[in-house]
């Protein structure tokens, strides 16, 4: 792969975390990481590069590699491993292995989605690898990094809600720095204004609900309840022009999050995936039912 083409594919991989394809937005994601958590950047780059290189070596469609489709799960895996595990000589190898595995998992799913109308994979390879991480870390005797405390807020009022909303955007890539969230919002606004508006509304919703209910929900103000609604709103706003679909997706993703705590699973981005699957599958069923109930004359070409 030529160097310039590979660098562009790498930037697109970071843009694809937010379901975008422009390398300029990929630069905004990298800048946000530099602002919010520069220590995570190396493993994120390694994961994205490994995902792309495995796809290249396996002979997957070059257009998909160029679009970043085989790199974004690897980037998220690199971020997660760097966040959850202390550095050890095995850490880069584990990032490369799981990022490469994410490409191997994604390829058949992409093919089935295009030929058999499967639901989109989104970040499912990342979620599966993330759920396997505690077992792998124990198997390899890799030390876990100490959990970072959520950002402390002097007052949970409307001014603090602005910072919390920006954190909801940043938490898509594990950042709780408001400036990092602002960088992502500005980049998204330049890349896709409609997606930016939906992302901002989705990030703000958990915070507004916490304020209206007068409940000091630390998770809402740390942005931890906002990232799945952000992704669901972006994904469905790009697929459906009517507002009901992204609105339903972000509400569903927010409602699904507590269930994972009850199951003892880290939610990661699974609420976003399930919410989008429910909306897409419901839409497909409604269209099929409408087509079957239509008069025969309308079904004939």
Radius of gyration of the chain, Cα coordinates, nearest whole angstrom: 19
pLDDT greater at residue 208 or residue 218: 208
Instruction: Read off the pLDDT of each residue in 212-230 and give the average, rounded to a whole number.
Output: 80
**Pair of tokens at residue 248:** 């339903």
- What is the CB neighbour count within 10 angstroms for residue 153? 16
Q: Compute the mean pLDDT over every residue in the chain, rounded to the nearest whole number.
A: 90
Alpha-carbon distances of 3 from 9, 10, 28, 301, rounded to whole Å? 10, 10, 20, 48
Instruction: Read off the pLDDT of each residue in 30-48 and give the average, rounded to a whole number.
Output: 97
**Pair of tokens at residue 15:** 């843009």
Do 199 and 28 meet the contact criterion of CB atoms below 8 Å apart? no
pLDDT score for 214 = 57
Q: Give the percent of the chain with pLDDT over 90.
A: 73
**Pair of tokens at residue 231:** 């992704």
Is it the case that residue 262 has pLDDT exceeding 80?
A: yes
Instruction: Please give the Cα distance from 255 to 270 (Å, whole number).
Output: 12
pLDDT score for 95 = 97
State the pLDDT confidence band at 231, using cuts at 50, 70 and 90.
Answer: very high
Nearest to 230 by CA among 276, 191, 277, 266: 276
Instruction: Read off the pLDDT of each residue in 192-201 and give the average, rounded to a whole number.
Output: 96
State the pLDDT confidence band at 105, using cuts at 50, 70 and 90.
Answer: very high
Is it the case that residue 300 has pLDDT exceeding 80?
A: no
pLDDT greater at residue 264 or residue 296: 264
pLDDT in tens, 14-29: 999 999 999 999 999 9
Instruction: Read off the pLDDT of each residue in 236-265 and give the average, rounded to a whole number.
Output: 93
How many Cα atoms are found within 13 Å in the side-chain-facing hemisphere of 61?
Answer: 10
Instruction: Read off the pLDDT of each residue in 261-288 and give the average, rounded to a whole number.
Output: 93
State the pLDDT confidence band at 223, using cuts at 50, 70 and 90.
Answer: confident
pLDDT score for 12 = 98
Is it the case that residue 79 has pLDDT exceeding 50?
A: yes
pLDDT score for 217 = 65
pLDDT score for 298 = 52
């Amino acid at each position: 792969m030529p160097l310039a083409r590979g660098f562009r594919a790498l930037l697109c991989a970071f843009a694809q975390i937010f379901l975008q394809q422009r390398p300029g937005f990929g630069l905004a994601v990298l800048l946000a990481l530099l602002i919010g958590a520069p220590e995570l950047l190396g493993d994120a780059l390694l994961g994205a590069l490994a995902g792309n290189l495995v796809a290249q070596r396996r002979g997957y469609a070059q257009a998909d590699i160029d679009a970043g489709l085989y790199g974004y799960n690897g980037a998220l895996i690199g971020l997660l491993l760097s966040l959850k595990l202390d550095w050890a000589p095995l850490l880069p190898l584990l990032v490369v292995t799981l990022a490469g595995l994410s490409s191997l998992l994604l390829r058949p799913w992409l093919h089935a989605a295009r030929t058999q109308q499967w639901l989109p994979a989104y970040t499912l390879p990342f979620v599966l690898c993330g759920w396997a991480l505690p077992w792998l870390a124990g198997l390899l005797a890799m030390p876990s990094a100490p959990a970072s405390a959520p950002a402390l807020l002097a007052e949970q009022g409307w001014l603090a809600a602005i910072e919390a909303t920006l954190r909801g955007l940043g938490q898509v890539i594990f950042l709780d720095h408001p400036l990092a969230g602002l960088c992502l919002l500005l980049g998204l606004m330049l890349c896709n204004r409609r997606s930016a508006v939906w992302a901002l509304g989705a990030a703000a919703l958990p915070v507004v609900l916490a304020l209206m209910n007068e409940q000091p929900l630390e998770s809402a103000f740390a942005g931890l309840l906002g990232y799945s609604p952000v992704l669901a709103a972006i994904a469905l706003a790009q697929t459906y022009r009517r507002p009901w679909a992204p609105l339903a997706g972000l509400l569903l993703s927010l409602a699904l999050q507590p269930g994972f705590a009850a199951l003892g699973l880290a939610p990661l981005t699974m609420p976003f995936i399930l919410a989008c699957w429910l909306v897409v599958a419901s839409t497909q069923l409604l269209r099929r039912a409408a087509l079957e109930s239509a008069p025969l004359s309308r079904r004939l070409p």
